[in-house]
Structure 1
Amino acid sequence: MQLAMDFTEAFPTSAKSNFDDLLSRVQSNSEHWSEHTSAAQRRRSGQVFTPIAMARQLAALYPMSGDSHRNLSDPGCGTGILSIAIAARLQERQDTSLNVVGFDTDTRLASDWLSAWDEFRDISNAPCRDSLFQCFLQHADDILSGTCLGKPRPSIITLNPPYKKLARNSNLWKLLNSKGVPVPNMYCAFTVLAGEWLADDGDLLAILPRSFASGVYFKSFRQWIRNAFSVEHVVLYRSRSCFGQCYTRECTRPTKKTPSNVASSYHSFRYTNR
């Protein structure tokens, strides 16, 4: 695992690419909807719009390989900035065909998501298919049983999950608890379901509040992480002010590994689904 403390030093920005204008437009869409979403609405939904600097940094953590096709998913996709940033990085390195699946309950954003991927296809040299669905959590049963929407399990999942509590009497809490993963809030639930859906040896690029790293409240979630993934990178932000309305969070890029490769050190854990 690598710990990056200074974005400008550890992850220098790349030279201007064909996708920069597209990313800037997606960022403008995010800013528009952020301005037109009240604080009360954000509290109810736990919605957070990811800043472009954070999206670029998270994409920069993805290790490149020679695969010519990727299945990419973005639960809580918003305007698409995280998945577009990763797709752009893939295309800048090699022509990679993509199958992209997004989820978001905010139907106001659907047009911007679809337009962004239309523009991506115009720029890209490789085939790209995208599909958009509403509530990721509605598919929890299918995900835990090994299927979801009849789609292939993603080799890459990126997410900046909603930040709100999960009621202990909710169906989702009961379902995850029955599977041995009692989760206290939505960002844990999103992360667990994303991890369960992710293909073996796939990559989960997530933005998480650092609150999960300590305390009894998140103990079961941390244990699930230790048993499921290998964290390759952790980026701890010194101040929440540099990311506007986004909560102070850690960027992590975990990779699916086998149980024999699980490390014991908390800050260099490699996680595996058992």
Structure 2
Amino acid sequence: MSLAKMIYEKTTSYLDTMPKTERKKIGQFFTPAAIANYMAGLTRSSGNIVSVLDPGAGSGILSAAIVDVLISKGVKEIYLDAYENNSDILPMLKENLTLIQRAAQDRYVALHFNIFEENFITENHFAWTGFINIQKYDIVIANPPYKKIGKRDAEASIMQDIVYGQPNLYFLFMAMGTRLLKDGGECVYIVPRSFSSGLYFTAFRNHFLNEVRITNLHLFTSRESVGGSGDNVLQETVILRAAKKNMRPDVIEITESSDESCHITNQYSVAYDTCVRKDSNSFLFFPSSEDDAQILNFVNQWPASLPELGYRMKTGMVVDFRETTWLCTDNKEEVVPLLWAYNFHENRINFPVEVDGKPQYLHNVQETNRLKMRKGNYLLLKRFTSKEERKRLQCALLFEEEFPLYDGISTENHLNFITKINGHMSKEELYGLFVVLNSSCMDRYFRILNGSTQVNANEINSIPFPAHRDLVQMGITAMHKTSLNDSDCDDILRNQFMSIAISQVM
């Protein structure tokens, strides 16, 4: 039996005494033994002496796994620093590390361990600020706590240069762990994939991907039970290994498994620059096949973002529960149409629609001017879809002439809309944007980038789009089509770019 398996079995008795709701409050989710062993097996450090950091040690499962692996590599002396400030689990951690130490001694390996009963971030704040130069670990291995904290909390204040919006402890642990690595050292993390895109994580991604180079990604094709011990963490989770080196590797090795057993069901290599975008957003992509890599390479060759082309995606204007005073269900008074996700019908807007008495109109008074949009041509997208739905990007064309009786319109907050920054969006432009965003190619690209069911305006504004002349040409072609489903959009896209490679995967 592996050391990690032994420690994990001891941990289950602890879990029986601690309600899941209590563990969730502090972001405590234990690593299954199979995952811990897989993570430890990704490490490449060797030699006579190796130093290890486990910054969220819990009951010591990851520590056990990495010690097991290092012993098997012939390492003779291991220095392990474990951080854990949960007083409930500390007695078990001390007992388990002592047990691991004895097991190592039985195999003629000296394990020296220190347990720091302190907050990992605050205890190392001088290392983060550069006041003290501390780079002392060959390996950092961690399942960081998943917990949102306040922007004024001590951890966020110390690491404020990578914090935007509401921070989460897991990415602060990732950043601090890499700061403490020696040059040439390596880190292995199991974390939610949410850091890979989105505005809130931009500063962190820029920092992290500048500090280390990712060499391995492991993807789980199911969300179920990856948290272990019945935790059922719903975040899509990834394992990554990265090395603290300046030189980028040529490829990232990607593996997949269907569950926490980490039994490899798929394995392939993807060019580093395909997974890691070289721009101010530093998006990190998780392709799940070579076909996905082709999609990424095809889209990433496009020259400009929406704002660079003169367009911008924005989020719907009306948060319904904040504006109840101004919402109404009929048009007997001075009103403007209020569009919701349920107004979508076959890529067009069906208005009005009676749905559970939900208001379809917004009072057209001076106080609601801030919530109004000028009449014009818009491309609408749903902000949220369910994970079971076939498409993540769901679009609807909105034409100015569809609302002749009103001097404006409005959109509910569960919608996004694309508008022209200056001037009027022509129908050719509108149809061209629709072809791109309604295509299976762009839908797949977005799914590779974003593992959630939310369509974020910042992400759409940041990803590449075809040049304006290509958008217009595709729009002209689309306007003459009798139907415009995603298959039709794929055909137009293929014909515009004459891409043999993309034809094989769309």
TM-score (norm 2): 0.46
- Partner deviation per Cα, 1:133-183 (whole Å, 9 max, x = no partner): 1221221322224588x9871111111011111211223212212xx3226
CA–CA distance in structure 2, aligned partners of residues 117 and 201 of structure 1: 27
Whether 1:98 aligns to 2:94 is: no
Instruction: Give the match's secondary structure for 2:89.
Output: helix
Output the CA distance in 1 between the equivalents of 2:275 and 2:76. Answer: 32
How many Å separate the matches in 2 of 1:144 and 1:24?
34
Q: How does 1:47-66 map to 2 (within 5 A)?
A: 47-65=28-46
* Secondary structure of 1:201 counterpart: strand
Please state how far the C-alpha of 1:242 moved relative to its aligned partner: 4.0
Counterpart amino acid of residue 122 in structure 2:
Q
Counterpart amino acid of residue 156 in structure 1: I
Which residue of the other structure, out of 5, 26, 32, is the alignment partner of 2:13? 32
1:56-114 Cα deviation digits (max 9, x unpaired):
1101111143x210111101101111111011011012133011110112122223222
Q: 1:237 aligns with which of 216, 220, 230?
A: 220
The answer as to 2:143 corresponding to 1:163 is: no
**Contact 1:50–1:246, Cα closer than 8 Å, also in 2:** no
Q: Which has the higher helix share?
A: 1
**Residue of structure 2 equivalent to 1:256:** 244
Does the 8 Å contact 2:50/2:75 carry over to 1?
no
Equivalent of residue 143 in structure 1, options 127, 131, 134 = 127
The question of whether the paired residues in 2 share the 8 Å contact of 1:77 and 1:159 is answered with yes
The structural deviation recorded for 1:42 is: 2.0
Q: Which residue of 2 is the match for residue 267 of structure 1? A: 275
Q: Does 1:127 align with 2:115?
A: no
Task: Tell me if the contact between 1:233 and 1:252 (Cα under 8 Å) persists in the aligned partners.
Answer: yes
The partner residue of 2:156 within 173, 177, 192 is 173
Q: Hey, what's the Cα distance between the residues in 2 that align with 1:207 and 1:24?
A: 18
User: Which protein has the larger Cα radius of gyration, Structure 1 or Structure 2?
Assistant: 2
Please provide the CA RMSD for this pair. 2.6
Per-residue CA distance 1:15-51 (angstroms, 9 max, x = gap): xxxxx25333210122222232223212220111111
Unmatched runs of 5 consecutive residues or more in structure 1: 1-19
Identify if the C-alpha distance between structure 1 residues 104 and 147 changes in structure 2 by more than 3 Å, giving closer, same or farther: farther
- Equivalent-residue separation in structure 2 for 1:214 and 1:64 (angstroms): 30
SS of the equivalent of 1:199 reads strand
Q: Secondary structure at the match of 1:95?
A: coil
Assess if the C-alpha contact under 8 Å between 2:2 and 2:68 holds in 1.
no
Q: 1:46 to 1:153 in 2, by over 3 A?
A: same
- Matched with 1:17 is none
Provide the C-alpha distance between the structure 2 equivalents of 1:42 and 1:132, rounded to a whole number of angstroms. Answer: 20
Cα distance in 2 for partners of 1:38, 1:203 equals 34
- Amino acid corresponding to residue 249 of structure 1 in structure 2: T
Alignment partner, residue 198 of structure 1? 181
Aligned counterparts of 2:177 and 2:274: Cα–Cα separation in 1? 21
The residue that corresponds to 1:186 in the other structure is 169
Question: Aligned pair in 2 of structure 1 residues 235, 175: CA closer, same or farther (>3 Å)?
Answer: same
SS of match in other structure, 1:62: coil
Alignment length, in residue pairs? 247
Structure 2: distance between partners of 1:93 and 1:262: 24
After superposition, the Cα gap between the structure-2 partners of 1:152 and 1:122, relative to the gap in structure 1 and judged at 3 Å, is farther
> In structure 2, do the counterparts of structure 1 residues 216 and 155 end up closer, same or farther at CA, with 3 Å as the change threshold?
same
Contact 1:72 1:154 (8 Å CA) reproduced: yes
- Aligned with residue 109 of structure 1, among 89, 92, 117: 89
Q: Which has the higher contact order (CA 8 A, sep 6+)?
A: 1
Are the structure 2 counterparts of residues 64 and 268 from structure 1 closer, same or farther at C-alpha, using a change threshold of 3 Å? farther
Say which of 42, 45, 58 aligns to 1:78: 58
Letter in 2 for 1:210: R
The alpha-carbon deviation at position 268 of structure 1 amounts to: 5.8
Matched-pair contact (CA < 8 Å) for 1:146–1:197: no
Select the residue among 213, 218, 221 that pairs with 2:204.
221
> CA–CA distance in 1 between the matches of 2:100 and 2:19?
30
Paired residue type of 1:87: V
